[in-house]
Amino acid sequence: RKEVEQDPGPFNVPEGATVAFNCTYSNSASQSFFWYRQDCRKEPKLLMSVYSSGNEDGRFTAQLNRASQYISLLIRDSKLSDSATYLCVVAGSARQLTFGSGTQLTVLP
Amino acid sequence: DAGITQSPRYKITETGRQVTLMCHQTWSHSYMFWYRQDLGHGLRLIYYSAAADITDKGEVPDGYVVSRSKTENFPLTLESATRSQTSVYFCASSESRVRGTEAFFGQGTRLTVV
């Protein structure tokens, strides 16, 4: 079983739609949680950190459920520029990041 | 310019050759990482370093060697390149003092072994 598992995707949604990505992780000792975004053939970049209390950044909302070892990302009012691969990322005590395989999102006009 | 830079950006090499990928960061981050990204596998950790002269293996270290004599540099060497090492390699760095802080990635090196 992979340490971090994500929805396989791809997700193709119209502009303005709401889309949700889910992720589960297997290591209960994991300490930090993130969503990264990766554009085609580019480096990953941090989208947002994820906290147990949930956090929101504009149209993006992330949630963490430690008991279920589950992480989610909600994107409201999708824009064409949101098209990318979204990576669920979990960090251990040594700061090394473990990545999910990613979920590809295409927002259609 | 400040940031994290990788060189070369593109490299083609022959099977059996030794290849070194360079990574340099200007933030004095303690932690540095090497990942490879392949279709179907996502990003996988090769090696990481918590400080100068401290390195540790990641998920897929076989066939690779790293060193960290200076905080700002973290080169990755393929001792004898194989076709299975054709991949995109990303270097990253992270500040150690704050738990949960993000990692910053270089632009990647696309390596083809023929």
Sign of the C-alpha dihedral, residues A38, A44, A46, A50? positive
Taking an 8 Å cut-off on Cβ atoms, the answer to whether B50 and A94 are in contact is yes
Residue whose C-alpha is closest to residue A89's, from A46, A53, A29: A46
Cβ-nearest to A102 among B42, B44, B107? B42
User: In the 8-state DSSP scheme, what is residue B65?
Assistant: E
Side chain identity, residue B76: L
Taking an 8 Å cut-off on Cβ atoms, the answer to whether A94 and B102 are in contact is no
Bridge pairing between strands B103-105 and B87-94: antiparallel
Which 3 state secondary structure label does DSSP give A82? helix
pLDDT given at position B97? 54
Taking an 8 Å cut-off on Cβ atoms, the answer to whether A45 and B105 are in contact is yes
Give the CA distances from residue A83 to residues A103, B20, B47, B97, in Å, rounded to whole numbers and listed in that order: 11, 34, 30, 33
Spans of chain A, pLDDT less than 50:
none
Mean pLDDT, contiguous 10-residue spans, chain B (114 residues): 89 97 94 91 90 93 97 97 97 74 90 97
pLDDT given at position B96? 63
Cβ-nearest to B102 among A34, A94, A98? A34
pLDDT given at position A14? 97
Bridge pairing between strands B103-105 and B64-66: unpaired
- Residues in chain B closer than 8 A to A34 (CB atoms): 102
Taking an 8 Å cut-off on Cβ atoms, the answer to whether B100 and A31 are in contact is yes
Which 3 state secondary structure label does DSSP give B63? coil
